[in-house]
Structure 1
Amino acid sequence: MKNTDSHLLELGWNELLARNLEALLAEEFPSNPIIVNLANPPLVPENLSAVADEGRQSESIERLRLSRVTFVSHDRLRVHDGRAEWPARIVNQKSRIPCVGDWVLCGETGPADPLSLKSIVPQLNAISRKVPGRQTQEQRIAANVDAAFLVMGLDQNYNPARMERLIAAVRRQNVRPLIVLNKADLSPELLEQRTTEMQTLMTGEVFAISALQGRGIQNLRDIVRANQWSVICLGSSGVGKSTLINALLEKQTMLTGANRTADSRGRHTTTERRLFPVPGGGTIMDMPGLREWQIWVEDTVTEATDSAFPDIEALAQSCHFRDCRHEQEPGCAVQSAITEGRLHARRLRSY
C-alpha cells in the first residue's frame, strides 16, 4: 500500500480492506473499472494503467471513487474520499443500506449531482445491537471499527452493569474497548474510587477526562492519531460524548446539551450517526445516546460473555466441577476468590 493516497490511510484504509476490495472487484466488476483516487498499482489492472498513461483511456471504462460513509439517513448518504465530503445516493433500492464506517465504491455523475453508490466493500467487522423494543432483529450501527471509547460520567450516570454490556458488545467484534470516565473534575475521591472499580472490569487503561475543561483530551487524540484508528464513541445520553468529540476535533462540530439535574440524564443532542476525520489521522464515530443496549448474538451468548468476564472464565477453569454454576458447589474457585477478596461479588452477579 506504499502508493496509496495518504488521505485514505488517515481515514482508516488498510491492507485487510485492500484485499476485500480486490475480491470485490474480481467478483462484481469484470469490466475492470478504474478507481480514480486509489494510487495503488496492484489494485488497478496493468493494461488499464497503461491505457490511462498513454491518454487513450476508453470512455466505456467505469470510473469509481473509493469513499467512506460518514452519514446515513434512509437513502441519503454522505461519503468522504480522503480529501472532501460528498453527497451520495443509493441507486439500487434492493442493495443493503450501508452503515457509518462502511467503505463504498461510488460512480461519478454530473458535477452538481450526488455520487451514486455502486457497491460496498466487505466489512472487517460491525458493531451491532438488538433493535430496541420486542423485535428480535440485528441493528448494525457502525462498520470497520478498531477501538471504542466507552464513555461514562462520574455523576449519577455511572453504571458499571451498562459498561460490562458495552465491553461484551465491542469485544465480540474484535474491537478494542477503552473506558473513558468523563467529568473527572467533580471529585478527586470519587474519581479514584470509580477508576479502581472500572479497572476490575477489564485489563487495560482507564482514561479519566474532563471534556468540558479539556483535561485528558490530548492523550486520547494522540492515541487515535498514532494508530490511525477508527474509533466509535458509545455511552448513554448526558455522559458528554458530543463535548468530547468537539474537543477531539478541536472545533464545535456537535451540539451539546444540558443534563436534567435530578438524575444527570441528558437529552439526545446527537440524533444521527456520524463519522468525522480527526486532524492528523484517524476517525471518530458519534452515536446517539444509548437508552437501551442489548447485545446481538446470533446463536449463543457464550462468546460475548467470555469476552466480557475473562476474570471469571479464568477462575472457572479451576472449579472442581466442569459444569459449576458458581453458587454453592464444593470446590468452586470463583466463590473462593470472592471469599478471599480477589473478586467482587458484583462481578459474579453481572455474569
Structure 2
Amino acid sequence: MTTPDPAAATTTPGPGARNAHEPRYAELVAQIAYELAGHEGQTVILSHVDPDGDALGSCLGLQRALRASGKRAQTYMQVPEYLAFLPDEGEVLPRLTGWPADALLVVLDVDNNDARRVAGADLDGYAGRVLNVDHHGTNARKADLGLVDPTQAATAGMVADIVEALLSAAGQGWTPEIATPLLTGLNTDTGSFRFASTTPAVLRQAALLVERGAALAWINDRLSQNPPRYFALLREVLGSMAFSHGGLIVSARVDDAMLERAGAEWDDVESYVNTIRSAQGTELACLFKDYGTHVKVSLRSRGRVSAQNIAVGLGGGGHVPAAGATVQGNFETVRRAFEQSAEAELSRVGLQ
C-alpha cells in the first residue's frame, strides 16, 4: 500500500475538518493515518467504560478500515446489549489479557491519561506509543500523537476523516461495513441529529457516509428496539422521577432492587436520562445509577447550564450538553454532592 502523505492531506481536509476549531486538524488527521498505515504490528483499539454508540462506532469503523487495508487490528470492549447488533460475532473481544510486543495503542472517545475511564485493557502493562482521538474538552492532550477537538459532534466524525486518508492511501474504497458504525457514532452522539451539535458540517458528513453505504434506517430501527424488560424498568424509573429547583432540574434513580423487580440489567438503563430530559420546563436531567458502593451520574442539559461543569465538580467530565461522573459513596451522599455542584452552576448562569 501507499503510505499517506501527512503534508498532502492538509490541503484536502475531510468533511469533519470544515467544522473543526483545532487549527492543525487536517495535519493531525494525516499524521495519525500515516502512523497507522506505517505500523506493521498489531493495532489495539480501546475506548471508555460504559461504551456508547460513538465509542463502539468509532472503534469498529477504524478496525474495519485497518483490516481492509491489510493491517492487524483488534478492539477490546464489553459491548452493551443495545449495541450488540453492530459488530459481527467475535469482531470485538471483551478484554486484552496480554500486550503484543509489536502493539500500537489507539484510544478513541476518551482521554488516554484517565486510566479509570479507559476500558478493555490494563494500561499499566503497556509502554509503547499511544494515539488518541477524542472530542471531550476535559482531555489532558498528553498522547504521543493526539487529535482532540471539542467542537466536533462525535469522535466518529473525526475517525471518518482518518479512515478516508487510510483507504485512499491503500487504494481501497469505502464499504457499507465501514461507513455504518461511523454513522452510528454520529447518530447517537447528536441524539439522532436533534442536538445543537448537529451542524451543517455534521449533516454533510452523515450524508457522505450514507452515500458510502451506511444503513441509516437500519441503524435507527435497531436502536429503537427494546426488550419487554426495558418497559418494566421504565415504569420504575418514571416512578422515581423528581423535580427540584423550581422545576429546572428533573432527576430519577435506578438501583439493584428496581432491576430485580423488572427483571432488567444495567445495560437497559442508558437511555432513560434522555427520556426524562423531555420533561417540559427543565434545564437539566440527571439519572442516578445507584450501585450501592458508588453512583454513576448521567447528566443532560438543554444548553443554558453546563452539564460538564456539574460533572467536573463531581470528579467527572464530558460536554456542555452531556456529561457524567462516577462518585464513591452511598446515594444520599452523592445526591448532596450533586446538589452542591448543580446549585453552583445554576447560580453561575443566573438561574438561582
Say which one has the larger Rg.
1
Instruction: Report which of the two has the higher share of helix.
Output: 2
TM-score normalized with structure 2 length:
0.30
TM-score normalized with structure 1 length:
0.30
